[in-house]
Structure 1
Amino acid sequence: MPPEMKTRGTGFVRLLLRNRLGMLGLGVVLVWTLGALLVGVVSPYGAAETAVGPLLDPPSWAHLFGTDNFGRDILTRVLSGARLSLWTGLIAVAISIVIGVPLGGVAGYVGGWVGSLIMRVMDVMLAFPSLVLALAIAASLGPGVGSAMVAVGIVGIPEFARITYGQTTALREREFVEAGRALGLSTPVILLRHIVPNALAPIVVRAALGMGYAILTAASLSFIGLGAQPPTAEWGVMISDGRGYIISGEWWLTVFPGLAIATSILGFNLFGDALRDVLDPRLRTTA
């Protein structure tokens, strides 16, 4: 690794570590990630779908988050739901990046009617409220976790396309791109080797922020029956199952999965804001 790249990487890490809110967000994300990976170690009750205690038992030392209407341990289900929610968010954001970044790059570099056509399609998608569009896509695909992943991923495509389009438009006339053209490099090579690497900073920031949005939207789809299906341990499903018990006082059925959604979104948003501050010199803070 060249010394200047090593120095730059060290400076990036140092600035990121100085951002307290960003480190708090990263800590929250890591806690949920470790909890999802180590659910069998953290919880002594095994499978999340197995009844292990009395029905609707409030939080206690035996069941820290209580039990649900089937006697299942809610802590175990929340941690298992973290695994599914994080995986759903990761796949959805990956779909958005894999499709949106090339589309935005082509539109910004080629321009003309091709670029206009691509960006007008993106504008049409952005004209619909994101949740409404996700509902329509998920309903057309049918209920299921896979449908939720695809729906959330498609909804996120315009954001990454617009970011890449703006970056490509600004970079396509730079000297290093002109040099690539003079050397006879093809358009895909110029995009992959010269433009996309220089546009990675805002893409990475949007991906971090998009994880929180993807988790929330996937949980919303599951809540109304278009995402994960019972008895799957998923945060939206758990809130949907427990909403009928709020009036009778069994608050823990909805509060704990709701807090899981809220804290995971907060973690990704804080970390995404920290990345934006560090990667954009104009916005750097020492918060």
Structure 2
Amino acid sequence: MPDTTVSTAASGHRAASPDQAGSRPTTAWRLLVRNRLAMVGLAFIVIWTIGALVAGLLPYSPTATGAGGNLEPPSAAHLFGTDNFGRDILVRVLAGGRISLWTGLIAVGISLLVGVPIGAISGFVGGAVSTVLMRVMDVLLAFPSLVLAMAIAAALGPGLASAMIAVGVVGIPEFARIVYSQTRSLRERDFVEAGRAIGLRDRTILIRHIVPNTIAPILVRATLGMGYAILTAASLSFIGLGAQPPTPEWGVMISDGRGYIISGEWWMTVFPGIAIATSILGFNLIGDGLRDVLDPRLRTSR
């Protein structure tokens, strides 16, 4: 009987029942839908995702010149106008959405794959291992994120892949810190001692019981990190350390058009700028909405 009770304590913290486990995402979604700002953010992201998918179906190639005259203003034929090479800016902006979304996903994926294990191991093991790993994270956090990303991208060499890696590395300490603090709190819970009492190894407790309970803050940080990744990657491309011309990347497009603002060809920079702003705003609004939904303290205070 005691063994059964302990086993229940160890496993019950993770999921009380299949019905409850299945209802949690549904409840979270219902609460998120009620958040109007989060739905506005979701609408922005859905629009850019659809645009990225249909970009390849449009009659013009994002890199082909001569789609129209050079520097044509927005018109019925070219809704966003054309650039200095006669390329259709609407097609390039939509194609840039595909690049930016993939850049954000890959960069955040790198941060997750490295940062979560570092934070989990440091928080659970403690001791010298924790001290060394977290001091390394503190050193990385001490640098301004954009400056650190610039240094990494410059060391790797200009290119979109370099920008993805640089942005991903810069995001590692944030995820490590979040998971570290969550793990340190969770390792003192009764279900951890219960797991050890029934013979579960520390690795099993960490992977199956502790890490799943850190998903909520990780999800919020990943959503907010998407916006940051898009902005930082565009910044690197703008200064020549990320994607290179003629790649239809938003930062590249703004860089190409900055010399034409004074002469009145505003559309070369305004439309890519709007794309960056709305995509970042979209992910930030979704992230804020998720934080309100997944944090019980914020939910009960409303």
**Same fold by TM-score, threshold 0.5 exceeded?**
yes
Equivalent in the alignment of 1:49:
63
Q: Does residue 29 of structure 2 align to residue 8 of structure 1? A: no
Q: Which sits farther off after the overlay, 179-188 or 60-69?
A: 179-188
How far 1:191 moved relative to its partner?
Answer: 1.5
Count residues in correspondence: 285
Q: How many angstroms apart in 1 are the aligned matches of 2:81 and 2:300?
A: 41
Q: How many angstroms apart in 2 are the aligned matches of 1:198 and 1:68?
A: 50
How far 1:284 moved relative to its partner?
Answer: 2.6
Equivalent in the alignment of 1:28:
44
Q: How many angstroms apart in 2 are the aligned matches of 1:269 and 1:38?
A: 24
Query: What do the CA deviations read for 1:134-173 (whole angstroms, capped 9, x no partner)?
Result: 0000000001111000000000000000000000000001
Q: Is the 8 A contact 2:216 2:294 kept in 1?
A: yes
Q: Is the 8 A contact 1:97 1:157 kept in 2?
A: yes
Q: How many angstroms apart in 2 are the aligned matches of 1:275 and 1:24?
A: 13
Structure 2 spans left out of the alignment, 5+ residues: 1-16
How far 1:278 moved relative to its partner?
Answer: 0.2
Moved over 6 A (4+): none
Equivalent in the alignment of 1:159:
174
Query: What do the CA deviations read for 1:161-207 (whole angstroms, capped 9, x no partner)?
Result: 00000000000011111122223323322211011100100000000
Q: Name which of 128, 131, 134 aligns with 1:113.
A: 128
Q: Is the 8 A contact 2:56 2:95 kept in 1?
A: no
Q: Does residue 224 of structure 2 align to residue 209 of structure 1? A: yes
Q: How many angstroms apart in 2 are the aligned matches of 1:28 and 1:284?
A: 25
How far 1:67 moved relative to its partner?
Answer: 0.1
Q: Name which of 61, 79, 82 aligns with 2:76.
A: 61
Equivalent in the alignment of 2:233:
218
Equivalent in the alignment of 2:4:
none
Query: What do the CA deviations read for 1:230-283 (whole angstroms, capped 9, x no partner)?
Result: 000000000000000000000000000000000000000000000000001221
Q: Does residue 196 of structure 2 align to residue 200 of structure 1? A: no
Q: How many angstroms apart in 1 are the aligned matches of 2:301 and 2:25?
A: 17
Q: Is the 8 A contact 2:68 2:86 kept in 1?
A: yes
SS in 2 for 1:228: coil
How far 1:286 moved relative to its partner?
Answer: 11
CA RMSD, Structure 1 to Structure 2 (Å)? 1.4
SS in 1 for 2:193: helix
When normalised by structure 1's length, the TM-score is 0.97
SS in 1 for 2:246: coil
Alpha carbons of structure 1 residues 181 and 236: separation in structure 2 relative to 1, 3 Å: same
Q: Does residue 199 of structure 2 align to residue 145 of structure 1? A: no
SS in 2 for 1:199: helix
Equivalent in the alignment of 2:53:
37
Q: How many angstroms apart in 2 are the aligned matches of 1:150 and 1:184?
A: 40
Q: How many angstroms apart in 2 are the aligned matches of 1:6 and 1:109?
A: 28
Q: Is the 8 A contact 1:277 1:285 kept in 2?
A: no
Q: Is the 8 A contact 1:21 1:274 kept in 2?
A: yes
Query: What do the CA deviations read for 1:21-61 (whole angstroms, capped 9, x no partner)?
Result: 001101111110111011133x332x201120000000001
Q: How many angstroms apart in 2 are the aligned matches of 1:53 and 1:286?
A: 56
Specify the structure having the higher radius of gyration (Cα).
2
Equivalent in the alignment of 2:271:
256
Q: Is the 8 A contact 1:88 1:214 kept in 2?
A: yes
Equivalent in the alignment of 1:92:
107
Q: Name which of 174, 187, 193 aligns with 2:189.
A: 174
Q: How many angstroms apart in 2 are the aligned matches of 1:20 and 1:95?
A: 31
When normalised by structure 2's length, the TM-score is 0.92
Among all aligned residue pairs of Structure 1 and Structure 2, give the percentage whose two residues are the same amino acid: 72
Equivalent in the alignment of 1:241:
256
Q: How many angstroms apart in 2 are the aligned matches of 1:133 and 1:40?
A: 34
